[in-house]
Amino acid sequence: MSLIASLPDIDKRPESVFVMHERSEKYIPNHKHTKGQLSYVEGGIAYLDIGNQRYVIPARHYFWIPTGLSHVLKIGHSGTVLRSLFFYTHDDNTSPFYSQMGIYPINDLLMQMIKYSEPWDGHILPGDNRFLFLSAIKNILPEISSKKIPFALPFTEHERMLPILRYLEKNIGDTHSLESISHRFGMSERSLSRLFQQTLNMSFLQYLKLLRMVRSIELMLQTNLSLSEIAYTVGYQSLASFSSTFLKLTNYRPSDFKKEK
């Protein structure tokens, strides 16, 4: 059964852990659970839309979504396997981790534990030895989940911003400035600057940097381009400048993502 088809069943047994491993649909519309969700993205890349933020989940990363948080899930590659465990919430007050959305690099221990559950499906209930194993996964999450990916790309449905954002995404490798974009879209620099702050809560240059970082992660995971080629593709004239910006914004070196492809 697919994740979309399973959505009504996940919360039917509050005391259980609901297990699902699948080659996921490309788009799972806005939904929420009364259970906490742990999902490991195996291969490819995935995206989470929460409110007006778009989070990028690279391969070999997992995410935690707390109870009751509405989200949209998009899969960027048809071969991506989404391994998901939906947990009971009666002990969520034991750690702040369980109440916070986060994306984290997976370690070998957690990856092997999640993969071990691959033959299982649906509700695993207390009293089952498999439940004890799954509970151990939940219990170690606060301890091992310390290196959170620290940024998200904001988005908006504002009608004046949509064509601007589409243009930047399509022409990401070009040289852009507040002056050039304001001229192209027939507004003053001050008006464009204010529009970015009002709709995205950040400056034009901040958004452009984030957009380039998101696009670079996609290229690292989905192509065979070298880091120098990726830097140039997303608008940087040198690998050093690109690497420095990437490290400042993500706390990772670009090679950390490239080697995990």
pTM for the whole structure: 0.83
The overall longest dimension of the chain from CA atoms, in Å, is 66
- The string of pLDDT tens digits covering residues 46-99 is 889 999 898 888 878 899 999 999 999 988 666 678 899 999 999 999 999 999
Question: H or E stretch including 192?
Answer: helix 189-200
201 φψ region: left (φ > 0), alpha (ψ -120 to 50), beta (else):
left
pLDDT confidence of residue 218: 86
**pLDDT at site 81:** 84
Share of the chain above pLDDT 90, in %: 70
The predicted model gives 211-221 an average pLDDT of 90
pLDDT tens for residues 3-54? Answer: 677 788 999 999 999 999 987 667 888 999 999 999 998 877 888 999 989 8
pLDDT, mean of residues 236-256: 90
Summary mean pLDDT of the chain: 91
pLDDT average, residue stretch 205-217? 93
What is the pLDDT, as a whole number, of residue 40? 93
Contacts of 11 (CB under 8 A, 6+ apart): 33, 34, 35
Average pLDDT over residues 225-235: 96
Identify which has the larger pLDDT, 103 or 152: 103
Q: Of residues 252 and 191, which shows the higher confidence score?
A: 191
Q: Is the dihedral of CA 221, 227, 233, 239 positive or negative?
A: positive
Beta strands in the chain (DSSP E): 17-23, 27-31, 36-42, 45-50, 53-58, 61-65, 71-75, 81-87, 102-105, 122-124, 153-154
Q: Does 200 or 250 have the greater pLDDT score? A: 200
Homologous superfamily of the 157-258 domain (CATH) = Homeodomain-like (1.10.10.60)
Give the residue extent of every domain in the chain. 3-144, 157-258
φ, ψ at 39 (rounded to 5°): -130, 135
Name the amino acid, one letter, at 170: K
d(CA 188, CA 194): 10
CATH 2.60.120.280 fits 3-144, yes or no: yes
